[in-house]
Amino acid sequence: MSKMQKCLTGFLWAVLAVLTAGGAVPPEIERPPQPFLVELLAQERGRWKFESPVGQELAHPGRVGLYAAGAGIADRVGLLLENPEFPGDRSRAEWKEITPEPDGSGFLIREPNFSMRLRLQPGKDGEIPAELSEIRLGPAPAGRWNFTGLYLRVGGSYRSLELTGPNGSFKLQTGRVGSVFKAGEPVELIAVRRVPAPRRATLILRDYYSGAELSRRPVELTGRVVKLPAEPGRFGSFEAELLTADGCSAKLRLTRIPAPEKVAHEKSFMGINVFQQQHWYYSYQLPLFAAAGIRWVRPWLHWENTWKMQEPERGRFDTSALDAMLRRLALHDQKLEYIFYNCAPWLVPGRSTEMTPLDAEQMKLWEAYVGRIVRHCSPQVTDYEVWNEPDLLAGHNPAFSAGFYAKLTRRTAAAVRAANPAAKIHTLSHANVREWLEAAGDAGVAASTDVVTLHTYAPAEYFVRRELARQKLLDCGGFFGKPQYFNEIGAAGYDGCPEYSGAFPGTSEKRQAEQLVINYAQAMHFAGAEGKVFYFCSLDPRDSRDPSGRTWDSSIGLLYLGLQPKTAFASLAATAKLLDGRTCLGRVEVNDAVRYVAFSGGRAVVWSDVPGVSVKASELGCAPGEAIGVFDLFANPVASGRAEDMTIDLSRGPVFLTGSETPGRRAAAERNAWMAERGRVAAAERQVGRVRPVAMTRNSTAEAAFRIPAGSRVEVRVPEGFPAAVEEEAPDGLFRLKLRAGDSSGAGAIRCIVTLPDASLPAVVRTIPVMVDRTTLVEDGAFDNGSLDEYQLAGPEMFDPAEGAMRLNGPFDSRTHLHCRPPYRSDRPLHFSVRLRGRLSPGVKLSFNVAFFREGWLGTWSPAAHGENSIASEAFRGRSSAIPEELAEWTTVKAVLPAGILNAPEARAIFFLDIRGGRPGDAIWIDNLELYQEREAVK
Q: Which DSSP string corresponds to 244-286? A: ETTS-EEEEEEEEEPPPP---TTT--EEEE---SSS-HHHHHH
Residues 400 and 516 in one domain: yes
Residues 274 and 403 in one domain: yes
CATH number, position 700: 2.60.40.10
pLDDT of residue 870: 64
In the predicted structure, residue 18 carries a pLDDT above the cut 70: no
pLDDT of residue 787: 78
- The DSSP code for 479 is I
648, containing H or E segment: strand 647-649
Residue 784 lies in a domain: no
In the predicted structure, residue 168 carries a pLDDT above the cut 60: yes
Q: What are phi and psi of 502, to 5 degrees?
A: -70, -40
Q: How many CA atoms lie within 13 A of 581 on its CB side?
A: 13
Residue 371 lies in a domain: yes
Residues 196 and 221 in one domain: yes
Distance in angstroms (rounded) separating the CA atoms of residues 622 and 618:
5
Residues 73 and 114 in one domain: yes
Please indicate whether residue 787 or residue 811 has the higher confidence score (pLDDT). Answer: 811
Q: How confident is the model at residue 574 (pLDDT cuts 50, 70, 90)?
A: very high
pLDDT of residue 667: 98
In single-letter form, the type of residue at position 157 comes to: S
Residue 660 lies in a domain: yes
CATH number, position 918: 2.60.120.260
Distance in angstroms (rounded) separating the CA atoms of residues 739 and 331:
67
According to DSSP, the residues that pair with 452 across neighbouring strands are 427, 484
In the predicted structure, residue 8 carries a pLDDT above the cut 60: no
Q: Is-contact 257 183, C-beta < 8 A?
A: yes
Residues 655 and 525 in one domain: no
Q: Which of 521, 556, 581 is at the close of a domain?
A: 581
CATH number, position 236: 2.60.40.1930
Q: Is-contact 570 207, C-beta < 8 A?
A: no
Q: How confident is the model at residue 4 (pLDDT cuts 50, 70, 90)?
A: very low
Residue 528 lies in a domain: yes
In angstroms, what is the C-alpha Rg of the chain?
31
Q: Which of 163, 188, 219 is at the close of a domain?
A: 163
Average pLDDT, the chain: 92
**Which range among 61-70, 211-220, 235-244, 847-856 shows the weakest confidence by mean pLDDT?**
847-856
Residue 781 lies in a domain: no
Cα–Cα separations (whole angstroms), residue 312 to 303, 347, 840? 12, 10, 57
| Mean pLDDT computed over 899-917 | 90
- The DSSP code for 722 is -
Count of domains for the chain: 6
Q: How confident is the model at residue 9 (pLDDT cuts 50, 70, 90)?
A: very low
| Mean pLDDT computed over 55-67 | 95
Q: What is the largest CA-CA distance in the chain?
A: 101
Residues 452 and 552 in one domain: yes
| Mean pLDDT computed over 736-763 | 94
Residues 753 and 864 in one domain: no
CATH number, position 385: 3.20.20.80
CA dihedral 544, 547, 553, 555 (to 10 degrees): 10
Distance in angstroms (rounded) separating the CA atoms of residues 731 and 729:
6
In the predicted structure, residue 2 carries a pLDDT above the cut 50: no
Percentage above 90 pLDDT, the chain: 78
Residues 403 and 445 in one domain: yes
Nearest to 564 by CA among 865, 284, 929, 937: 284
Residues 224 and 180 in one domain: yes
Residue 468 lies in a domain: no
Nearest to 137 by CA among 53, 35, 48, 33: 48
Q: How confident is the model at residue 432 (pLDDT cuts 50, 70, 90)?
A: confident
Q: Which of 163, 197, 222 is at the close of a domain?
A: 163
In the predicted structure, residue 939 carries a pLDDT above the cut 60: no
Q: How confident is the model at residue 169 (pLDDT cuts 50, 70, 90)?
A: confident
Q: Is-contact 748 719, C-beta < 8 A?
A: yes
pLDDT tens-place string over residues 851-889: 998 877 888 999 999 876 567 778 888 888 999 989 999
- The DSSP code for 492 is -
Distance in angstroms (rounded) separating the CA atoms of residues 93 and 95:
7
Residues 84 and 219 in one domain: no
CATH number, position 641: 2.60.40
pLDDT of residue 868: 67
Q: How confident is the model at residue 197 (pLDDT cuts 50, 70, 90)?
A: low
Nearest to 397 by CA among 356, 366, 358, 359: 356
In the predicted structure, residue 790 carries a pLDDT above the cut 90: no
Residue 484 lies in a domain: yes
pLDDT tens-place string over residues 285-299: 999 999 999 999 999
In the predicted structure, residue 6 carries a pLDDT above the cut 60: no
CA dihedral 276, 278, 283, 284 (to 10 degrees): -80
Q: How many CB atoms lie within 10 A of CB 94?
A: 18
pLDDT tens-place string over residues 77-127: 999 999 999 999 999 999 999 999 999 899 999 999 999 999 999 887 789
Q: Is 371 left (phi over 0), alpha (psi -120 to 50) or beta?
A: alpha
- Structural domain span for residue 110: 18-163
Distance in angstroms (rounded) separating the CA atoms of residues 723 and 130:
79
Q: How confident is the model at residue 806 (pLDDT cuts 50, 70, 90)?
A: very high
Q: What are phi and psi of 552, to 5 degrees?
A: -60, -25
pLDDT of residue 20: 45
Residue 535 lies in a domain: yes
Distance in angstroms (rounded) separating the CA atoms of residues 186 and 206:
17
Q: Is-contact 832 879, C-beta < 8 A?
A: no
Residue 172, SS3? strand
Residues 366 and 251 in one domain: no
Q: Is-contact 485 533, C-beta < 8 A?
A: yes
Residues 861 and 841 in one domain: yes
